[in-house]
Amino acid sequence: MSAWLRDKRRWVRDLTLSVSVRIKILGIALGLTLLFGFAVILYVRTSLDNSLTRELEDKGASITSDLAARSADLILTNNLFALHELVRATLENNLDVQYAFILDPNGNGIVHSFSSGLSPALIAANTAAPNERSHLEVFETEVGTIRDFAVPIFGGKAGIARIGMSERRLHENISATTQQLLLITLFVSLIGVAAALWLTRAMTRPIFDLVGATRAVAGGDLSRRVTPWAGDEIGQLTHAFNAMTADLDRAYREMVQRNRELAALNAVASAVNTPAPLSETLERSLRALLDSLNLPAGWVFLLDRDSERVHLTTWLGLPREIGEREAETALHGCPCTSALRDKRGVVIAPLLERCPLRDARLGNARPVAAHATVPILAHDRALGVLGVASADAQAFSVDEMKLLEAVGQELGVAVENASLWNDLSEKERVRGQLLDKIISVQEEERQRVARELHDEMGQSLTSLLVGLKMVEESSSLDQAQTRAQELKLVAGNVLDDVRALARELRPSVLDDMGLVTALERYTREYAHRFNLAVDFQVVGLDGVRLPAQYEIALYRIVQEALTNIAKYASAKNVSVLLEHRRDSVVAIIEDDGRGFEVERFLRERRDGQHLGLLGMKERAELLGGKWIIESKIGEGTTVFAQLPVSSIP
């Protein structure tokens, strides 16, 4: 049964949807008119029935009260004739009164309007209490619905007046009104059908135009438009359709533009992710960008890591000498530099008088009319700029500037990765050099120790052996004692040499007394050995021991710094400060020597040179600290080392 109902509903739905628009409009107009008419008829009929019923009840209560009031004196005077006349007049003057009668206080009929007598059942059907104004009972009879009203006379002491009100005339009036409304509804329905016919003729033509235009749009013709016929809803629909096709056309063009931009980004990302040297990566990325955006020329400038100067990295589509001139004028009042300062793209159109690009000619011999510059960013840090040029002054829209800024972000990742890779390679190279140097130094130290043991201590021990043999061969006790005294001096010298050698390899005072005492002794011996004025200061570390690895690192950093000062600085005064600052320990070594160019040294270090400085840096960084060297020619050098120490007791 449920399947049959579903099929039936589907059939009705398909039939309804397959009907033409004209029939639908006619059906809707006629259906709404009839629905509205019947609703009005039902509402009017219900309202009229309620209103006339209330009016009938008010009228019945009023007539009954009037009958009771006028019959009171007649009952008291026992004027039955007048009572009969009063009942008769009541029926004649009120067409809705079906009957009327008066009862005495005992419920017996005094007068009535019935020709066949008063029915006891009717007498018992309704009564009124002495304190009631009136009492209503409704019951069905052969002549229809009767509303029976009872009103006490003199509070019931003189009897009760009763009348029965018929609803016949009420229903006749309602029926007549309903018939009139039905006729009006039919007339209005005919007018509505006629109007619907005219309306369908006026509506279907522009609708058919819209259908044809819709099919054209579905076929890909987004330029199709429909001429509005009027300013009504169909006209508004036509305007909306035209606006929709215009939006679709614009969206299609934007989609094509977005695909073009995504293709450009994909090409740049592919170039960036291909393993290659940085210069080759930048050139490949720039070429892919220019091809995707159909631009004739572009360039990339990168900032030097240790200065604010830019250097030309990639230049395509224009003579290179123009790029070199551009690099010379960069960061010196050129509006392009705002891209670095504000970290956002800038369009220059028209070009300034002093701009080197004004003299350039593109591949088609046209001059540069505009160029755009965007920052190359990595973690919100400017690494350089990307520039593109065009012969069209309106070439760079807001969307294309966003695309160029996105490409700048991609190139920033490539530049940063290349820089990190170079740093890592440099660190690995330096570590290898340090390892080779350490091994070499270890071998040299072993050779020196072996030489010391062989040359000096070996000779001293040989002297001891010879002396012991001479003691053994002494002919007298005095001679043996004299030779024993000489051997004692030789043994003392050997012991001093062994202790000095052990102290050079690792000062025992560092393990026994701590960093402060070891540096005090070392700086004192250093000042005496090299004839320098050394000022050693300690702040916050008196009587404090640091972890062993920290003491070794700080001792070797100070030792290496002082060694370099003695070798290269030609200084007269040296200052060493060892200070505890919150959660770190700082060592600062300063001299008043000749100094050197730190930046140049950092750029030109190679072939294992200056490994002492690099060793200090490695020691500090291995413990999570930092190492800084500052120096200027003629102004001395400062070495700063800071190691983090979580807590010092």
- The H or E element that residue 498 is part of is helix 477-505
Q: What is the pLDDT of residues 557-580, one digit of tens each?
A: 888 888 888 888 888 999 999 998
Q: What is the pLDDT of residues 15-59, one digit of tens each?
A: 555 556 667 666 776 777 778 778 888 888 888 888 888 888 888
**Per-residue model confidence (pLDDT) at position 11:** 61
pLDDT for 608 beyond 50:
no
**Are the folds of 56-175 and 258-411 the same?**
yes
- pLDDT (0 to 100) of residue 95: 85
pLDDT at residue 248 tops 70? yes
Q: How far apart, in whole angstroms, are the C-alpha atoms of residue 526 and residue 521?
A: 8
Is residue 590 pLDDT above 90, yes or no? Answer: yes
Question: Interior CA angle at 569 toward 565 and 572, to 5°?
Answer: 85
| 3-class secondary-structure state, position 620 | helix
Can you tell me the distance from the alpha carbon of 641 to that of 621, in angstroms, rounded to the nearest whole number? 10
Does pLDDT of 312 surpass 50?
yes
- pLDDT at residue 442 tops 60: no
**Residue 249, phi then psi, degrees to nearest 5:** -60, -45
Task: Count Cβ neighbours within 10 Å for each residue of 283-304 and write b for 16 or more, e otherwise.
Answer: bbbbbbbbebbebbbbbbbbbe
pLDDT of residue 501: 59
Residue keyed to tokens 């990302």: 269
Q: What angle do CA 26, 27, 31 make, to 5 degrees?
A: 120
Q: Note the residue count of the chain.
A: 649
Confidence of residue 435 (pLDDT cuts 50, 70, 90): low
Q: Is the peptide bond before 350 cis (omega within 30 degrees of 0)?
A: yes
CA-CA distances (angstroms) from residue 551 to 106, 522, 537, 620, 627? 132, 14, 16, 11, 16
pLDDT in tens, 61-114: 898 888 888 888 888 888 888 889 888 888 888 888 889 999 888 888 889 888
Mean pLDDT of 215-239: 73
| Beta carbons of 315 and 388 less than 8 angstroms apart | no
Dist. CA 297–CA 290, nearest whole Å: 7
Please report the sign of the dihedral spanned by the C-alpha atoms of residue 208, residue 212, residue 218, residue 223. negative
Q: What is the 3-state secondary structure (H, E, C) of 359-423?
A: HCECCCCCECCEEEEEEEEECCEEEEEEEEEECCCCCCCHHHHHHHHHHHHHHHHHHHHHHHHHH
Query: In this predicted model, what pLDDT tens digit does every residue of 375-402 receive, in sequence order?
Result: 877 777 777 777 788 878 777 777 777 7
Token digits for 3? 């399947």
Mean pLDDT of the chain: 76
Q: Give the rounded percent of residues in the chain with a pLDDT score beyond 90.
A: 6
pLDDT(587) > 90: yes
* Least confident among 179-188, 210-219, 626-635: 210-219
CA pair distance 638, 586, nearest whole angstrom:
13
- Please give the single-letter amino acid code of residue 178: T
Q: How far apart are CA 572 and CA 326, in angstroms?
A: 48
* Least trusted range by pLDDT, from 19-23, 24-28, 169-173, 615-619: 19-23
Over the stretch 268-293, which tens digit does the pLDDT of each residue have?
Answer: 666 566 666 767 777 777 787 777 77
Q: Which of 486, 497, 481 is nearest to 464 (CA)?
A: 486
The overall longest dimension of the chain from CA atoms, in Å, is: 197
CA distance 12 to 595: 101
The secondary structure of residue 303, as a DSSP letter, is E
Coil, strand, or helix at residue 588?
strand
Superfamily of domain 508-644 in CATH is Histidine kinase-like ATPase, C-terminal domain (3.30.565.10)
Q: Considering only CA atoms, which of 457, 386, 450, 440 is closest in space to residue 415?
A: 386
Backbone angles phi, psi at 131, to 5 degrees: -95, 0
pLDDT digits (tens, 9 = 90+) for 483-512: 677 667 767 766 666 666 555 555 666 766
Q: What are the pLDDT digits (tens) for 347-372? A: 877 777 777 777 777 777 778 878 78
What is the distance between the alpha carbons of residues 178 and 186, in angstroms, rounded to a whole number? 12
- Pick the most confident of 146-150, 476-480, 550-554: 146-150
pLDDT of residue 543: 74
Sheet architecture: strand order including 346-348: 310-316, 297-303, 381-390, 370-378, 346-348
CATH of domain 258-411: 3.30.450.40
Identify the band that residue 203 occupies on the pLDDT scale cut at 50, 70 and 90: low
Helix residue spans in 506-625 (DSSP H): 508-512, 515-530, 548-564, 598-604, 611-622
Residue-wise DSSP of 2-45: HHHHHHHHHHHHHHHHHS-HHHHHHHHHHHHHHHHHHHHHHHHH
Domain residue extents for the chain: 56-175, 258-411, 508-644
Taking a C-beta distance cutoff of 8 angstroms, is the pair 484, 464 a contact?
A: no
Its pTM surpasses 0.85: no
Q: Is the pLDDT of residue 327 over 50?
A: yes
pLDDT for the residue numbered 1: 52
Most confident of 455-464, 473-482, 522-531: 522-531
pLDDT at residue 607, rounded to an integer: 46
Contact 588, 576 (CB under 8 A): yes
CA 205 – CA 229 distance, rounded (Å): 9
Instruction: Tell me what pLDDT residue 446 has.
Output: 55
CATH class of the domain at 56-175: alpha beta
More confident position, 474 or 424: 474
